[in-house]
Amino acid sequence: MRVIVAGGGIVGLTSAIALHKAGIEAVVYEQAPEIRAAGAGLGIWANAMAVFDKLGIGEQLRSIAKPTEMYFRDPSGKFIDPPGFSKDDHRYLLAQRPELNALLAKTVGRDNIRLGSRLVGYAESDAGVTVRFADGSAADADLLVGADGAYSAVRSQLVPGSDAIVHEGHHAWRSIVAPPEGVTVDESVIVLGEQRTRGGFVPTVDGTVYWLINQFGSSGPTGTPKEQALERAAFLDTTGWNRALPALIESTPDDNILYNQIMLVPPLSRWVSNRVALVGDAAHALSPHITAGASLGVEDALLLARLLVSAEGLPGALAAYQRDRLPHYAKVDELSKRVEDSATPEEFATNYVAFSHWMLTR
């Protein structure tokens, strides 16, 4: 079987690794001229590490990431520790996205990646699927895996009318920076603040710091990205205990601050056809308040590869994949919404850990 994976992000690259591991030929077609990663830090939860361990790259990944814990504080700096959850519900690894994607791309192998290849459409038949690219070229395969992110061209053809939608009022700012003189960051600080703002910072493995700010219900941001982030950082500190966060933001060049209007993929009626399957954000771009879209997405990759070798024929494997994924993500959406709708920081923390506990133990 020959597979085309459209998209060389974390989930597309992981899909290719899982397919290779299952003995299936797979080539990644990425639109960008190089494998790069939009974003700064990435929290990798234990469910994703279990996938990477099964694919044989867990140890390499651990060597470029930092073990850390997600404990929330209220805006006065007080820890919120919802009862009934173990330390394991809070543990994750903090990776830097470019290093992570570089490791995944190296594992896929340069010969199995075609750069500068933007998929613009596909045609499927009983005999196979032909994928068309923006430069006029085409490639044939038995299966097309759409791992082309929230704005997926594969999804727009597979499920017409499924364009990514604006998560109204939800904005995010983030960067990675070396701590400025006089600022020491030796622990992670994540705050559930006022005005439905969340954020803080996490030390990375190389001594730099990942800072992030998110806000629900935000009015349209004005000013430079730095001014926008600083305005919201004030909601995370009501008593002056958290001076490091504004100092980190101040010391970040504006060009290095990544700002996003959050986009979501609406629930889909289907994830597959007879020759096409969606994985990762292409199928389920989630709100990042659960910081788990990628951790969940790599599970899609492993499941799909396993079903392709264990289920009866290609259509049977794809149908089994969809049967598993649709209810699974309906549950993710339900738990995620509960976190989003929380009225207080305490309720948010409780619902958040309930989500991560479900993700890690189901």
Q: Is 352 in the site for ligand FAD (CB under 6 A)?
A: no
Least distance from ligand FAD to the Cβ atom of residue 308, Å:
18
Q: Which single residue is written with the structure tokens 């990663």?
A: 37
What is the number of residues in the chain? 362
Burial 100-125 (b: 16+ CB within 10 A, else e): bbbbbbebbeeebbeeebebeebebe
| Residue nearest to ligand FAD according to CB distances in the complex | 9
Amino acid, res. 147: A
Among 1, 24, 32, 326, binds ligand FAD (CB under 6 A): 32
Distance, CA of 197 to CA of 30 (rounded, Å) = 34
Q: Is 188 in the site for ligand FAD (CB under 6 A)?
A: no
# binding residues, ligand FAD (CB under 6 A): 33
Least distance from ligand FAD to the Cβ atom of residue 173, Å:
9
Q: Is 4 in the site for ligand FAD (CB under 6 A)?
A: no
- DSSP E strands, 216-270: 258-264
Please choose, out of 59-67, 148-156, 191-199, 328-336, the segment that lies near ligand FAD by the rule CB under 6 A. Answer: 148-156
Least distance from ligand FAD to the Cβ atom of residue 50, Å:
14
Among 3, 19, 22, 39, binds ligand FAD (CB under 6 A): 39
Site string for ligand FAD, 258-287 (x = CB under 6 A): --x-------------------xxx-----
CB half-sphere exposure, 285, CA atoms < 13 A:
22
Distance, CA of 129 to CA of 3 (rounded, Å) = 9
Element (H, E) at 149: none
Nearest to 10 by CA among 61, 62, 59: 61
Q: Is 118 in the site for ligand FAD (CB under 6 A)?
A: yes
**Interface with ligand FAD by CB under 6 A: which residues?**
6-12, 29-32, 39, 42-43, 118-119, 147-149, 153, 172, 174, 260, 280-282, 288, 291-295, 297
